[in-house]
Amino acid sequence: MNDAQALIDWFEHLSPQTIDRIPQFYTADAKFKDPFNEVRGTDAIARIFRHMFTQVDEPRFVIGSRFSGEDGVMLLWDFHFRSRGRRPQAICVRGSSHLRFNTEGKVVLHRDYWDAAEELYAKLPFLGALMRGLQRMGRA
């Protein structure tokens, strides 16, 4: 699916300057859902990506694998970024995206799957210590 490859290239080179290309890849009423958001439409999806650039430094996606089906694709990715604050650190969140396409090859559904507790909260300095403590309590 050539449309999927163009979309993967866009994801891997996403920047504040390329966010406005969303309508090239998504339908006007596309649905997007991840552990923190559930929105519809390219403007709302663009807001999520813009927000990402205001919250973390050096965000980038690396697509590791892709599995294609009749009308969609599943992408396995690593999201790399640097946290902000007094002690910035490099963080990698692993997840996947299920993308469904219409007959024109545009995304109608983008659903991200990743474990916010394991992949994000546990890696942040203060929250990480709290999460590890809760995990130990759960095993006791």
Q: Give the integer Cα–Cα distance in Å for 99 and 111.
A: 7
User: How many structural domains is the chain composed of?
Assistant: 1
Residue ranges making up the domain that contains 64: 2-114
Percent of the chain's residues with pLDDT above 70 = 81
- Token pair for residue 75? 């992408």
> In sequence order, what are the residues at sequence separation of 6 or more whose Cβ sits closer than 8 angstroms to the Cβ of residue 9?
none
* Virtual torsion, Cα 109, 37, 8, 97, nearest 10 deg: -70
Residues 80-96 have a mean pLDDT of 88
In a domain, 136, yes or no: no
pLDDT surpasses 50 at 25:
yes
Residue 29 lies in a domain: yes
Residue 81 lies in a domain: yes
Cα–Cα dist 29/79, whole Å: 25
Pairwise pLDDT comparison (41 vs 128), residue with the higher score: 41
Q: What is the pTM of this model?
A: 0.80
- Residues with Cβ < 8 Å from 111, sequence gap 6 or more? 31, 32, 33, 34, 97, 98, 99
**Looking at the domain assignment, is residue 97 inside a domain?**
yes
119 domain residue, yes or no = no
Residue 139 lies in a domain: no
Predicted confidence at residue 124, as pLDDT, reads 56
pLDDT reported for residue 36 = 87
CATH code of residue 49: 3.10.450.50
Average pLDDT over the chain reads 86
